[in-house]
Amino acid sequence: MLKKTISTLMLFVSFQVHALEKPIKNGRLEVICGSMFSGKSTELLRRIKRAKHAKKEILSIKSHLDTRREEFCITTHDGQKQTAHLLSNNMENLSDSITKLSEGVDVVGIDEIQFFPYKMISIIENLIEKGIIVIVAGLDLDFRGEPFSIMPELMAKADKVHKFSAICSKCGNDAHYSQRIINGKPAKYDDPIIMVGAEECYEARCRNCFETHKPQITN
């Protein structure tokens, strides 16, 4: 009986010591997603500002494919901005660059995350492992209404996902789609996902007003 009590006590002590030894990690992933004009960058900047007020060290990153307004800033449609490091998607040393930039940082904010390559997922996981809070903003659906590159996996792995909607440019309902317009007409379904430098524009559309022209699958 005494032997059993001592061994139970030792097991309890060993659990307590283990709990004390294990460092508390604050790292997590928050994903802000939605269509164009849904306020994703505004929400990202709001969270960055909040972290700054809390005296956290911030690293802001944007993709070189984000050609809106100022090159070295995350900008919003309502004129807010935040200085950011411009990183190229094709960088061979993307992981090394982010590791170096994130030294001593508490929060990493990344805008237009959907433009980054697949290896960005493991880079983000490494940041989280180091105790860094990673907040990313990006389009969950491409112009065809299909999941956009790395977004589904990021959303699945996130601690929190915030999905934003815009206002449909046709009817005023909640819009979750980004309609690509070329020469006044909806783009073709088989157009490239990313058209760099193309003369195009986008409208937020609801499910009813979104025109996709998706090829029908016949059995």
- State the Cα–Cα distance between residues 158 and 135, nearest whole angstrom: 9
Q: Which is nearer to Zn ion, 57 or 211 (CB)?
A: 211
Residue whose token pair is 């690293």: 59
112 is catalytic: yes
| Structure tokens given for 105 | 């940082």
| Structure tokens given for 53 | 């007020």
Contact 38, 174 (CB under 8 A): no
CA distances 13 to 5, 19, 21, 195, 208, Å, are: 12, 10, 12, 61, 62
Residue 189 Cβ vs Zn ion, minimum distance, rounded to whole Å: 19
Residue 2's contacts (CB-CB under 8 Å, 6 or more residues apart) are none
User: How many Å separate Cα 195 from the centre of its chain?
Assistant: 20
Contact 67, 172 (CB under 8 A): no
Beta bridge partners of 51: none
Residue 172 Cβ vs Zn ion, minimum distance, rounded to whole Å: 7
Q: Which is nearer to Zn ion, 115 or 164 (CB)?
A: 164
Contact 30, 113 (CB under 8 A): no
Q: Which position among 112, 129, 146, 200 bears the catalytic label?
A: 112
Q: Which is nearer to Zn ion, 6 or 171 (CB)?
A: 171
Q: Which is nearer to Zn ion, 85 or 207 (CB)?
A: 207
* Helices 94-101 + 120-129 axis angle, to 10: 30
Residue 162 Cβ vs Zn ion, minimum distance, rounded to whole Å: 22
Q: Which is nearer to Zn ion, 11 or 171 (CB)?
A: 171
Residue 207 Cβ vs Zn ion, minimum distance, rounded to whole Å: 8
Residue 210 Cβ vs Zn ion, minimum distance, rounded to whole Å: 8
Q: Using CB under 5 A as the criterion, which residues of the chain lie in contact with Zn ion when the complex forms?
A: 168, 170-171, 173, 206, 209
What is the CB neighbour count within 10 angstroms for residue 88? Answer: 13
Residues serving a catalytic function are: 112
